[in-house]
Structure 1
Amino acid sequence: MASALRILGYSVYDSPDQILKQRETWIEIFDGKHDNNIFKKMYKDIDAVTDVPACAVWDQILEAFPNSKLIFGIPKFVIFLALSRLISYTMYRVWLLMMKCNTACFGHFANSFNVNEMLTRSAYRKHEAYARSVCPKDQLLVYNVSEGWGPLCKFLDKPLPEEEFPHLNKNSQILKSTMGLTSIEKLEQKVGDEIKQKAKIVILCILGIMFWFMYM
């Protein structure tokens, strides 16, 4: 979706952009430290924002930009969260943000181990019903990317592009660019380096304690 909007000429902040460039601000937002004016500052030079965490507070963003249009996507119910959250600082900060975003979206925290599909589907239906009831009809498009350019361009008053509608997330390829890294291997290496660094600190602490008991 973000790629399609960029092809249409919009500047877009997708989920990786928000997580990498605005992570700490988003954590503060979910902690209630900002009002709607923060979005005017965050997106003063941005035309569109997609995916999490912005989708959790779309109505607040709409209040900040009342002439905006809302595209409500119909997604697959898939949740991915990092398993290294507790030991890697980089992954932990992302996990912390996603935990707060999950709670804002679904009313409960869902991770890789305890996804309750029934509650999640119920929360999603409430989310969709709320969007339909609150957003002005002429500013709302309920859309599935499989519909292609037609409905999207009509809604945004844009001419149909010559190129095909983008599909960049085949086989979860988009994960390779998450965290600003070019491959999953580099992400694993970054997390691994952090784990090794923490392990060295733990070992030094243990050796220090052993030395203290032996010679004190």
Structure 2
Amino acid sequence: MLQVIGVGFGRTGTLSLRTALERLEFGPCHHMAALFEDPAQIGLWREVAETGTPDWDRVYDGYRATVDWPGAAYWRDLTRHYPDAKVILTVRDPECWYQSARATIFQSHNADFDGAPPEVAAMRDVARRIVWEGVLGGRIDEDHAIRTFNEHNEAVRREIGAGRLLKFEAAHGWEPLCAFLDVPVPDEPYPRSNDRAAFAATLKERLGNTAAPS
């Protein structure tokens, strides 16, 4: 059963938050990367995209937390289905978010998947349905993407009660996160994961060293 629901868009420090939550024993934590790590997840999320009436307990069987897409696309459903779960909205400056997304996840949407393992192409199809067509409405131009980003964050802040919601930036470090989750602060730096270079290297590896965006 989910205890923590991350509702921020990808490229707002979600992979670092995943690492942090698992360090704080709120793991396993779901993330888009889980679709690469466990191909069975692809079928579950394809069903979510196709039916619109998912069995969330089945989708998240074995998980204690979720961050990033695809889960963030269904934040209203998830926060209703798991009413006791705490909610974390990862945020960053909208312009910085767009530049980071354009250089990474938006590029991956246009990468050459010829020769990639079949599960990678299947994962991209799920992402296309849920993120590109669903969340972003098929558009990744700057004005539209930033407006969608801002409207999403405003809706979360408006609809989730203040006592249940943490607005969080990776630069804030452990203290506000641990206070929100009522756990001790680890004696180690807050995780820093998945910068642009790391994202490009990971994508190239997953594409089977076929062409990937630089």
Q: TM-score by structure 2 length?
A: 0.74
Segments of 5+ residues of structure 2 without an aligned counterpart are: 1-16
CA contact (8 A) 2:115 2:207 kept: no
Q: Which residue of 2 aligns with 1:132?
A: 157
1:29 aligns with 2:48: yes
Listed as ranges, the matches of 1:11-160 within 5 Å are: 11=27, 12-21=29-38, 22-35=41-54, 38-75=55-92, 76-77=97-98, 78-79=101-102, 80=105, 81-82=108-109, 83-85=111-113, 88=116, 89-102=118-131, 103-106=133-136, 108-110=137-139, 115-160=140-185
Q: Which residue of 2 aligns with 1:5?
A: 21
Q: What is the SS of the residue equivalent to 1:167?
A: coil
Q: Which residue of 2 aligns with 1:172?
A: 197
Segments of 5+ residues of structure 1 without an aligned counterpart are: 179-183, 193-216
The structure number with the bigger radius of gyration is: 1
The CA distance in 2 between the partners of 1:66 and 1:144, in whole Å, is: 23
Deviations 1:42-89 (Å, cap 9, x if unpaired)?
224211111111111011111211111111011422142251246643
What do you get for the CA RMSD once the two structures are aligned? Answer: 2.3
Q: What is the SS of the residue equivalent to 1:31?
A: helix
- Which of the pair has the greater relative contact order for Cα pairs under 8 Å at 6+ separation? 2
The CA distance in 1 between the partners of 2:52 and 2:150, in whole Å, is: 28
Deviation at 1:161, TM superposition (A): 0.6
Aligned length: 179
Q: What is the SS of the residue equivalent to 1:188?
A: coil
Q: TM-score by structure 1 length?
A: 0.74
Deviations 1:149-196 (Å, cap 9, x if unpaired)?
111111111111101101122443255456xxxxx356434x58xxxx
User: Cα 1:86–1:97, aligned 2, differ >3 Å: closer, same or farther?
Assistant: farther
Quote the sequence identity (%).
20
Bigger mean CA offset, 71-80 vs 136-145: 71-80
CA contact (8 A) 1:40 1:64 kept: no
Deviation at 1:41, TM superposition (A): 1.9
The CA distance in 2 between the partners of 1:186 and 1:128, in whole Å, is: 30
Amino acid at match of 1:122: R
Bigger mean CA offset, 65-74 vs 92-101: 92-101
Where has structure 1 moved over 6 Å in runs of 4 or more?
Answer: none
Q: What is the SS of the residue equivalent to 2:89?
A: strand
User: Cα 1:140–1:47, aligned 2, differ >3 Å: closer, same or farther?
Assistant: same
Q: What is the SS of the residue equivalent to 1:160?
A: coil
- Whose helix proportion is higher, 1 or 2? 1
Deviations 1:76-122 (Å, cap 9, x if unpaired)?
2214225124664343212211111222222x124xxxx31100111
